[in-house]
Amino acid sequence: MRRILFFALVFWQAISYGQTTSISPYSGFGLGELAPQGYDRSFAMGGIGIGFNDSLSINPLNPASYSFFKRRNPMFQVGLKGQQLNLTSEINSNSTFNFSLNNFALGFPIAEKGGLVIGVNPATTVGYNVIVAEEFTDAEDYTFPVFNKFEGSGGYNKFYIGGAYRLIEKTDSLLGRLSFLSIGVNVSYFGGKKFTLLDVIYADSTVSYRNTKYTETQIINDIGFDFGIQYQKYIKKTSPIDYVSLTVGATVNIPKFMNTKFESLVHTYQFDATGSEITRDTTFFNDNLKGDSYIPLNYGVGLMLDINKKWQIGVDYEAQNWNNFKQIIEGVEIRNRALTNMFRVGAGLQFNPAPIGSRKINTSYLKMITYRMGVRYTQQYLKFEDYQLDEKAVSFGLNLPFSKSQSYSSLNLGIEFGTSGTIENGLIQQDFLNFMIGLTLLPHRFNRWFVKRKYN
């Protein structure tokens, strides 16, 4: 267990030090851009997973799913994510690219009906660099340009330990499991920093001494909880590989005040003859402002229809009341008017022509591949005047098994196309291409590299 925790902390540091994974100007609001919590399979199926359980993958969207891991088969899962983002406004456009580590998780079966997961992934991401030019007129009616530079970086990560157990289970001696009820919980540590900068630059050298930088750092370190439940019933079952089942899932993330530390600095400066900054005066500094950030209630429901493990079709609905988000600094309550309630709906399916249990020696590799697709729609948590941002996306993916191995390990590939925002009312439209590469190692107990060697 010590080795497991060590490797988990190594990946925590890898994500933490490279966590500026957002390149969206909208990530400056609230705690940052909300990162999807599902892994590669969910990514390729429209982000769904609340009603999904699988013995061959980890599904953090519903901790109740952890109780279905194969006995004596620990699991390792890691994912990488990239994004090509095109930003368009009424007067300008730009393109950016980002690639980073997305998630790391370890799963372990516990006895016959339980499971344990240790994982880490981003919770929010922040990353933007925007310059806005405007004109300033002084007391003598002299007009000159002023540049407002907005920068942001950082984000918050989630290190979690989750467990699940099947409480109620109805079985048949010939057909196996007929129905079950599973519950689960994730205990998560949220940690990270959000850094923001406003740099006001006066272009006229006669008033450049007014140049001012406002910097703020928000640091969150606290614990959170989310709970999940799944009920699955076999509508039809004539054999272990000939069946139709329906799974209903639900999740809730308990609202909580998170311990937050605020650091603020305001200083004026000007440029010397070489273009270097010279600080003139520090007008405000405090590196120990204590407070809280209120994370609002998050809840979701999902359905998954499973037909012989060949076809799996599901839908999810998730909502969070970001209108209730607030921060308290030294007893002073601060709210952001741009934040509002959000919801997400997604639908996805996957098809495996020859699922595990039905494969033969001569089964072609193309039939062993799992094919996935999905769509999602999100009414986002940002609203400017009367326009609430929304996001639409369609996704596709493949699960490629390691056919020559005795294990159930696989490589997962996914790609997503979508758009969010608008160019109207001075806003920015984002057209994106996201892709994810995931590796799942689930060794069989007879793999030579997995069996502990014995010496005489």
The secondary structure element, H or E, covering residue 124 is strand 114-137
C-alpha to C-alpha distance for 60 and 188, rounded to whole angstroms: 11
| pLDDT digit string, tens, across residues 56-72 | 899 999 999 999 988 87
The secondary structure element, H or E, covering residue 183 is strand 176-202
| pLDDT digit string, tens, across residues 40-54 | 999 999 999 999 998
Sign of CA dihedral 352, 357, 358, 364: positive
Q: What are the phi and psi torsion angles at 128 (to 5°)?
A: -160, 160
Average pLDDT, rounded, for the chain = 86
Q: What is the pLDDT of residue 110?
A: 92
% of the chain exceeding 90 in pLDDT = 55
C-alpha to C-alpha distance for 410 and 63, rounded to whole angstroms: 22
- Per DSSP, the three-state class of 2 is helix
Q: How far apart are the first and last CA of the chain?
A: 27
Q: What is the pLDDT of residue 14?
A: 43
Pair 195, 214: CB distance under 8 Å: no
Q: What is the pLDDT of residue 372?
A: 98
Q: What is the pLDDT of residue 247?
A: 96
pLDDT band at 354 (very low <50, low <70, confident <90, very high): confident
At residue 262, does pLDDT exceed 60?
Answer: yes
Nearest alpha-carbon partner for 144 in 212, 205, 211, 214: 205
Q: What is the pLDDT of residue 34?
A: 92
| pLDDT digit string, tens, across residues 310-335 | 999 999 999 999 999 999 988 888 88
415: how many CB neighbours lie within 10 A of its CB? Answer: 16
C-alpha to C-alpha distance for 429 and 367, rounded to whole angstroms: 40
| pLDDT digit string, tens, across residues 423-456 | 888 888 999 999 999 999 987 654 555 555 555 4
Pair 71, 166: CB distance under 8 Å: no
| pLDDT digit string, tens, across residues 408-421 | 889 999 999 999 99
Q: Residue 448, Cα to own-chain centre: how many angstroms?
A: 35
Q: Please, where are the H alpha helices in 99-243?
A: none
DSSP E strands in 138-175: the ranges are 143-172
Question: pTM of this prediction?
Answer: 0.87
pLDDT band at 16 (very low <50, low <70, confident <90, very high): very low
* Token digits of residue 452: 């502990």
Across the range 286-292, mean pLDDT stands at 89
DSSP E strands in 321-445: the ranges are 326-329, 332-334, 342-351, 370-384, 387-401, 410-421, 429-441
- Per DSSP, the three-state class of 159 is strand
The fold adopted by the segment(s) 2-441 is: Porin (2.40.160)
At residue 29, does pLDDT exceed 80?
Answer: yes
* Token digits of residue 199: 């740099």
C-alpha to C-alpha distance for 385 and 46, rounded to whole angstroms: 29
Per the model's pLDDT, the better-predicted residue between 217 and 6 turns out to be: 217
| pLDDT digit string, tens, across residues 234-261 | 888 887 777 899 999 999 999 999 999 9
Query: What single-letter DSSP state applies at residue 25?
Result: G
Pair 199, 151: CB distance under 8 Å: yes
| pLDDT digit string, tens, across residues 364-401 | 889 889 999 999 999 999 998 888 999 999 999 999 99
Q: What is the pLDDT of residue 257?
A: 94
Beta-carbon-side half-sphere exposure of residue 397 (alpha carbons within 13 Å): 31
Q: What is the pLDDT of residue 7?
A: 41
Share in percent of the chain as helix, strand, coil (round to 5): 10, 60, 30
| pLDDT digit string, tens, across residues 145-194 | 888 899 999 999 999 999 999 988 777 666 667 788 999 999 999 999 99
Task: Please state the domain extents for the chain.
Answer: 2-441
% of the chain exceeding 70 in pLDDT = 89
Across the range 354-361, mean pLDDT stands at 78
